[in-house]
């Protein structure tokens, strides 16, 4: 297991980024398109130029070429070799490293089985679904036993069913391997629901690094807060008919990603902006407190009980207006 430290890294996309990614954990980098997420992964992998320093377990690797860093990078596109079948794709990196015979067969078979794609061993990339291709790409990356696995929006573009199944299988395998994983995503709810550590990257700089449980969007610049969502302190978590909810002003908001071992009580939660809509018959009632204008929408802060909920609206509203909200979900932080 390898700890990764990035120290004052600068280039065409990053502005003095300093962050630490603990060994054997899943770190998630959150940020909108253009924030510099992919560039940060390429810096760690040694695939792009930068100033500053990258350290593995405290040792600088800035002069170490990519193929010697012990890093596997999975880009947004699976980028499989179209002239090789699934087995050959997964075995490719091992063969390059001189692994042959039973050791090669055992390693490839184990990964195909773990990701439930052993039945696809003889299939070629053109015949694979999106989820299957993503799993093959991740199996290929894991085959060489990397110290660090870098995932760039690994499940983007999959339909809901494929995403859920693929995500569960991939994350289960990664957790069992106990390697250092750094994943970037623009999907707030899913990223926070999976992460041990989060880093919010905004305009090439780090806004927040730390535990999800300590995230507080009220300290962020307005544009960042309205991208992420509302943090609510000390929300009551209740179970009802086998489902989990956070109570907000007597209304039960479904918890989207239930943390293992969550047993009720009171927790900090985040309500992603994407899960909140103003609608006339919305069951959560609130009062408009502040309104500002962005390029594409009105940024509305709605007071709901003791909380201030961030909402994007196509319509202009005035402070004091009573509105209804429909809140589709929230994420328990930590």
Helix (H, G, I), strand (E, B) or coil at 16: strand
Residues 137 and 35 both lie in one domain: yes
Residues 229 and 128 both lie in one domain: no
pLDDT tens string 271-328: 999 999 999 889 999 999 999 999 889 999 999 988 899 999 999 999 999 999 999 9
pLDDT of residue 259: 58
Q: Which domain holds residue 245?
A: 219-332
Nearest to 190 by CA among 216, 168, 213, 219: 168
Q: Is residue 214 part of a domain?
A: no
φ and ψ of 30, to 5 deg: -100, 140
Question: Can you give the CATH number for the domain in which 136 is found?
Answer: 3.40.50.300
Q: β-strand 180-185 against 26-30: which pairing, if any?
A: parallel
pLDDT of residue 168: 81
Mean pLDDT of the 228-248 span: 86
Residues 11 and 150 both lie in one domain: yes
- Category of 196 on φ-ψ map: left (φ > 0), alpha (ψ -120 to 50) or beta: alpha
Mean pLDDT of the 7-27 span: 96
pLDDT of residue 234: 84
pLDDT of residue 81: 94
Residues 31 and 134 both lie in one domain: yes
Q: State pTM to two decimals.
A: 0.90
Residues 126 and 80 both lie in one domain: yes
pLDDT of residue 204: 96
Residues 35 and 109 both lie in one domain: yes
Q: Is residue 288 part of a domain?
A: yes
b/e per residue, 86-117, with b = 16+ CB within 10 A?
Answer: bbbbbbbbbeeeebeeeebeebbeebbebbeb
From 186, 208, 230, give the residue that closes a domain.
208
Q: Is residue 277 part of a domain?
A: yes
pLDDT tens string 196-209: 899 999 999 999 99
pLDDT of residue 188: 87
Angle at 190 between CA 211 and CA 198, to 5 degrees: 25
pLDDT tens string 173-196: 888 888 999 999 988 887 887 888
Does the pLDDT of residue 32 top 80, yes or no? yes
Residues 156 and 203 both lie in one domain: yes
Residues 280 and 161 both lie in one domain: no
- Distance set, CA 227 to CA 88, 121, 312 (Å): 42, 41, 9
pLDDT tens string 48-67: 999 999 999 999 999 999 99
* Cα(150)–Cα(73) distance, integer angstroms: 5
Does the pLDDT of residue 145 top 80, yes or no? yes
From 208, 243, 266, give the residue that closes a domain.
208
Between 265 and 80, residue with greater pLDDT: 80
pLDDT of residue 262: 61
* Cα(325)–Cα(309) distance, integer angstroms: 9
pLDDT tens string 253-277: 988 866 555 666 888 899 999 999 9
Question: Can you give the CATH number for the domain in which 294 is found?
Answer: 2.40.50.140
User: What's the structural domain count of the chain?
Assistant: 2
């Amino acid at each position: 297991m390898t700890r990764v430290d990035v120290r004052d890294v600068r280039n065409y996309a990053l502005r003095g980024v300093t962050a630490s990614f603990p060994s054997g954990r899943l770190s998630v980098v959150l940020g909108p398109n253009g924030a510099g997420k992919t560039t940060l992964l390429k810096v760690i992998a040694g695939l792009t130029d930068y100033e500053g320093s990258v350290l593995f377990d405290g040792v600088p690797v800035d002069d170490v070429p990519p193929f010697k860093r012990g890093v596997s990078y999975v880009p947004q596109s699976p980028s499989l070799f179209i002239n090789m079948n699934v087995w050959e794709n997964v075995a490719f990196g091992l063969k390059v490293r001189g692994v042959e015979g039973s050791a090669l067969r055992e390693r490839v078979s184990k990964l195909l089985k773990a990701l439930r794609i052993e039945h696809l061993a003889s299939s070629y990339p053109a015949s694979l679904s999106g989820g299957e291709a993503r799993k093959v790409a991740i199996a290929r990356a894991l085959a060489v036993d990397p110290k660090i696995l870098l995932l760039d929006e690994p499940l983007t573009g999959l339909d809901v069913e494929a995403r859920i199944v693929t995500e569960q299988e991939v994350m289960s395998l990664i957790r069992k391997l106990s390697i250092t994983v750094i994943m970037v995503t623009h999907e707030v709810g899913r990223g926070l629901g999976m992460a041990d550590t989060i880093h919010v990257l905004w305009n090439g700089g780090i806004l927040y690094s730390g535990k999800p449980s300590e995230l507080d969007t009220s300290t962020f610049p307005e544009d960042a807060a309205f991208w992420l969502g509302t943090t609510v302190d000390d929300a009551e978590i209740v179970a009802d008919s086998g489902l989990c909810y956070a109570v907000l002003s007597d209304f039960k908001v479904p918890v989207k990603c239930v943390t293992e071992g969550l047993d009720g009580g009171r927790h900090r939660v985040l309500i992603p902006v994407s899960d909140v809509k103003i609608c006339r018959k919305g069951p959560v009632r609130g009062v408009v407190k502040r309104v500002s204008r962005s390029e594409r929408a009105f940024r509305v802060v709605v007071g709901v009980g003791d909380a201030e909920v961030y909402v994007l609206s196509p319509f202009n509203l005035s402070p004091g207006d009573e509105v209804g909200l429909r809140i589709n979900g929230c994420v328990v932080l930590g």
